[in-house]
Amino acid sequence: MDGLGEAVTPQAIAACEKIIRPYIRRTPVIETDGREFGLSAATICLKLELLQHSGAFKARGAFTNLLTRAIPKAGVVAASGGNHGAAVAYAAMRLGIPAKIFVPSVSSPAKIKRIREYGADLTIEGDGYADALAGSEAWAQQTGALPVHAFDQNETIMGQGTIGLELDEQLPTIDTVLVAVGGGGLVAGIAAWYAGRIKVIGVEPFASPTLTRALEAGHPVDAEAGGLAADSLAPRRVGEIVFPIAQKYAPRTVLVTDDAIAEAQQTLWRTLRIVAEPGGAAAFSAILSGAYRPADGERVAVVVSGGNTAAVNFDITR
């Protein structure tokens, strides 16, 4: 497919959705009043992608890759902080394809366990995503396995963009959607679907501001890579294909602290009994912390993008 996101159009996303529909869940939306959380009288709509197969939105991009590209005998290989690896492992299991997954040591035990449960061959490589990516690239070179990139690939971005299509059908009158950003495949896919029709705002931790730094520089650059959500939101650099899409259709980001993310996790549990991982709660933390302040009457969708965490992190007696 064409480079630099030229292939990622609403029409291509709609075609992709038809291909992957038999393999993915249409995840639900919960509409809440912002006053439930001590906020303005905005409508907060939570898109629960943590209920997707493999526990995160990544299954959409994984199935798009495995169903639309030629798969060699050696199968597929992926590098991941955890969720993409679980998604590729799950899709490969469903389709009977060999899968090799590389994750860094910061990947959570819950994600490592899930990858192994899906039957993929797992290697822990280095301390960060960049190390796992280097390991996956060497494996692809050595074996001929097909690389499935976590975010910077047209097929991956189009798969994640099917969330935008679903949101459009479920919530046709929303004004804004808040999306957590790591490498940027999710925000680029959703932004490409809406193509400027609504506000799409990226939410990043101060500890790993990949898209923020790229927008400031005018091109992808290395950024800090750490923090509470390092296993899902800290690839160091936003994608080269991702960037022009985000720059055109999602040119605003807000930054949140690790404390705000942790508080969002607890609030989702206390108020709605939703168990989200740190990266999955990051977008919601922007509203709770005031990093993004909805206007009275604004209808805001928030993608709760992942739930691969241990339930024991939450006080179930509260």
Would you say 157 and 3 are in contact if contact means Cβ atoms under 8 Å apart?
no
Let me know whether 176 and 235 are in one domain: yes
Let me know whether 161 and 293 are in one domain: yes
Whole domain around residue 96: which residue ranges? 58-147
Let me know whether 90 and 113 are in one domain: yes
Let me know whether 101 and 173 are in one domain: no
Q: Which class for 123: exposed (0-12), middle (13-18), buried (19 or more C-beta within 10 A)?
A: middle
Let me know whether 40 and 74 are in one domain: no
Let me know whether 40 and 70 are in one domain: no
* Count of domains for the chain: 2
The CA-CA-CA angle for residues 223, 106, 270, to 5°, reads 95
Let me know whether 166 and 21 are in one domain: yes
- Across the range 292-317, mean pLDDT stands at 81
Name the amino acid, one letter, at 189: G
Using the 3D structure, point to which of 94, 120, 147 is the last residue of a domain: 147
Let me know whether 176 and 294 are in one domain: yes
Max CA separation in the chain (angstroms):
56
Give the whole-number percent of the chain exceeding pLDDT 70.
96
Kindly name the residue from 108, 136, 285, 305 that is annotated as catalytic. 305
Residue 2 within a domain: no
Residue 5 within a domain: no
Residue 186 within a domain: yes
Backbone angles phi, psi at 304, to 5 degrees: -90, 100
Annotation marks residue 58 as catalytic: yes
Residue 3 within a domain: no
What is the average pLDDT value for the chain, to the nearest integer? 93
- Across the range 93-110, mean pLDDT stands at 93
Residue 4 within a domain: no
Name the amino acid, one letter, at 256: V
pLDDT at 312 over 60: no
Centre a 10 Å sphere on the Cβ of residue 311 and count the other Cβ atoms it contains. 10
Residue 49 within a domain: yes
Provide the pLDDT for residue 40.
Answer: 75
The CATH number of the domain where 192 resides is what? 3.40.50.1100
Q: Compute the distance between CA of residue 308 and CA of residue 247 in angstroms, rounded to an integer.
A: 29
Kindly name the residue from 47, 54, 58, 289 that is annotated as catalytic. 58
Using the 3D structure, point to which of 124, 147, 170 is the last residue of a domain: 147
Name which residue leads in pLDDT, 315 or 165: 165
Q: Which class for 285: exposed (0-12), middle (13-18), buried (19 or more C-beta within 10 A)?
A: buried
pLDDT at 53 over 80: yes
Q: Binning pLDDT at 50, 70 and 90, where does residue 204 land?
A: very high
Q: Is 306 helix (H, G, I), strand (E, B) or coil?
A: strand
Let me know whether 98 and 71 are in one domain: yes
Residue 30 within a domain: yes
Residue partners of 63: CB distance under 8 A and separation at least 6: 19, 20, 23, 24, 91, 159
pLDDT at 318 over 50: no
Residue partners of 312: CB distance under 8 A and separation at least 6: none
Q: Compute the distance between CA of residue 289 and CA of residue 270 in angstroms, rounded to an integer.
A: 16
Let me know whether 85 and 228 are in one domain: no
This prediction has a pTM of: 0.93
Q: pLDDT by residue (tens digit) across 259-302?
A: 999 999 999 999 999 999 999 999 999 999 999 999 988 999 99
Residue 318 within a domain: no
pLDDT at 245 over 70: yes
Annotation marks residue 54 as catalytic: no
Let me know whether 177 and 68 are in one domain: no
Let me know whether 309 and 176 are in one domain: yes
Would you say 186 and 47 are in contact if contact means Cβ atoms under 8 Å apart?
no
